[in-house]
Amino acid sequence: MRVILGVVLLSVVTHGLDLLIRDYKTRLKQRELVARIPILAKSYKISFDINPNSYSLGSNNILHFSVSNNVHDLQLGIPILWYGDDKFVIRNLEKQVFLNKFPLNEWTNIVISQQLNDGKYVFTVNVNGKNAFSIENKNTDVFENVVVYASNPWNLPFDGSIKKLTLENGEPGEHLPPAVLNPKDFVLNIDKEILKNDNLVAVLSKLQKSFIISFDLKLNSFSNDIRSVIHLTLGEDNVRYGDRIPGVWISKQKLQVAFAINGNKNNLFESKPLPLDVWINVDIRQQAELGSNYFYVYINDKIVYEKLNGKAKLFTNVNVYVGDPWYEAQDGSIQNLRVFNIC
């Protein structure tokens, strides 16, 4: 099964890859719940990149797969990674794995896996593609109702960031229920990111009737076809009311914004032609004014579209894409993405 921790539910029911945190820098925070895994099989592979900012005294948690609490999890041998006493520590039932410090302010790839090989389960740790540790695990188990933290509630968080957190769960052909990513109350992605196809960055718990969505966009080239920028959806491209809340594309040099307004699931606005190679601020919002809800689109702080939405509604469990699965991604970059509700 394929899962992406910290971002979204991917409905893959066979052995595959789940992406829990996407390819953008995510600061480690205490009690940061990123996903729930109904079943963690005996065979798994966990991969991620880590970027340390500093090293300190004490025990600092990075990643914790948990079924109970800190002490019980250590006894079970479920995957846990922390930093302490000048070493990174990875725990399983057979042995603790100690890794030397990684370079500061650089990305290091870690792969923690347990795979069936000639009838034996082998626990392995790789660092930047090189084997750091391998041992037979004679005490494997299947874990149910696993929660994934980056980092846990019981220790201070490690001073650093994580990205590309993926879980490969089960043997080939093994059918497992999908992981459920923890919904977020808001989205805040400051870093510059190249737009790419099928890039799910978060699941928003709610999009209220009043909200603000803003970002900076730099376009490298234009196409006559439709190219995706961002897309907030209940699950599809344009099937039901709420599948475009909004969808944002570039087509023929123009910004296209679609939103669910007044019963129309695809109310479309198209801007004037946009320039290349400069940062353009886009602000899409809906707000209450004198008892009514108005939908606005701003480009570089100027209102370019406004409309009364007489059927504004609250949407729940909203997928947030920066480059959706249904159209090719726009050739360009995005930064300072903010999605939040106005209470």
What is the rounded distance in angstroms from the CA atom of residue 232 to the CA atom of residue 219?
20
For range 241-259, the mean pLDDT: 98
**Number of residues assigned to the chain:** 343
Q: What is the pLDDT of residue 292?
A: 95
Q: What is the pLDDT of residue 94?
A: 57
248 contacts 282 by C-beta, under 8 angstroms: yes
Strand partners, 120: 117
Three-class SS of residue 255? strand
Taking each continuous run of H as one helix and of E as one strand, the counts in the chain are 1, 29
Smallest CA-to-CA distance from 19 within 192, 171, 169, 197 is with 169
What lies within 8 Å, CB to CB, of 194 at 6+ separation is: 332, 333
Instruction: Give the largest CA-CA distance in the chain.
Output: 70
Whether the pTM exceeds 0.75: the reply is: no
- 104 has a pLDDT exceeding 90: yes
Q: What is the pLDDT of residue 260?
A: 98
- 75 has a pLDDT exceeding 80: no
- 278 has a pLDDT exceeding 50: yes
263-277 pLDDT, tens digit per residue, is 999 999 999 999 999
- 173 has a pLDDT exceeding 80: no
